[in-house]
Amino acid sequence: MSLKFISFAGAPRERGRQHGEIMRSEIAENAEFYLKRFCAYGTDQKTVQSEAECWLSFLEKLSPEYVDELRGVAEAANRPVETLTMLNIRHEIWLRLMARRAVDLSNLVLDGCTSAGLMPDATREGTAMLAQTIDGQAAICGTLFVGKMPRGNTVSWLGIFEAGSVGPTAGLNEVGIGLACNSLLTAIDGRGRMTAPYKLRSRSILEARTFDRAISVIINTDPIISMNYLIGHAQGEIISIETSPNAKRYLYPEHGIITHANHFEPGGIIASEWERFVPDSPFRSRRFARHLRSKLGAIDVDHIMAGLKDHFSYPASICCHPAEGSWPNSTLAAVILDLQRLTLFATDGPPCGAPLQRFELST
């Protein structure tokens, strides 16, 4: 398998049309799957559409350009704009709808990830780096792509996207700011008022020209869902920001390395729910950190990849594979970001069996 690459051009609507045309079949797959998944947990298509309409109205006021690009995707993909909104806001819609029905959190199946931030003194070439697995529903494996966004009114940037989403999951920009994310969960997720959704925040981080502006995207307003944002800069600054609807916590590299998975790290005040039903999260981050430290000062792409391929406790491993069940998870991609050389490396599927592709922001 090979990741598709889109070099976007033009105004937001035109960029959206490029996305919708090139990824039309993958968007159809994602839309069908996620609607089926929503309905399997006690909601229905009408309710999901109504929730998507509410978010679309909210986004039109918050970020007209984001919505304009979203409409372009819908037009070219021959899908209702509400369907594309569902794909872009699926995390928030999912938790809002489930919270309303008081579904026990142990019944939820959410995305997972294992991530790392590496300071320049930890790497062989003296460059700051970020890395992560992007874990999600196995059924959508093969629907991610890499996109290059032109400078426009902000900065040029390179990201990895889910088909249909105009907000990236991870990426880097021309000034050396990079982003990796990990889903988190608390008992109050989805119960608050609408605020900027995760995918809009991730895009805004990569549109920032300075590190403080990137961080302000996360800390200026409280989110409706929990998420860990691992933000790095080529000049040697990395911070991990754990967020929940009512609290934030800042974590920093120790001895040049920081890792994170899908639980709130010990020592904080936020009550974490994820590991109650996905118990692999607490050991994934520690295991990845130990692997990276085994070559401290000489870490390179190959060593990072070896850690991302780890199968300890298979199939619930860093390199995640489908287990038995109705909605099995899998690693959809492994991503490595070189923030100095402005290079994104990624696999299309679990890294144990998919080749590592290289994407340059400068080309």
**Parts of the chain with a pLDDT under 50:** 102-103, 105-107
pLDDT value for 37 = 87
Q: Structure tokens of 70?
A: 């979203």
Q: What is the pTM of this model?
A: 0.95
pLDDT value for 103 = 43
pLDDT value for 183 = 94
Reported as a single tens digit per residue, the pLDDT across 219-262 is 999 999 999 999 999 999 999 999 999 999 999 999 999 999 99
pLDDT value for 111 = 66
d(CA 241, CA 115): 13
Reported as a single tens digit per residue, the pLDDT across 269-306 is 888 887 887 889 999 999 999 999 999 999 999 999 99
pLDDT value for 154 = 87
From 203, 199, 211, 146, select the one nearest 175 (Cα to Cα). Answer: 211
pLDDT value for 274 = 79
Helices (H), the chain: 12-22, 24-40, 45-62, 64-77, 81-88, 90-100, 198-206, 211-219, 281-293, 301-308
CB-based burial label for 283 (10 Å; 0-12, 13-18, 19+): middle
Q: Structure tokens of 108?
A: 């939820």
pLDDT value for 323 = 86
In the block, tokens 């569902």 appear at 86
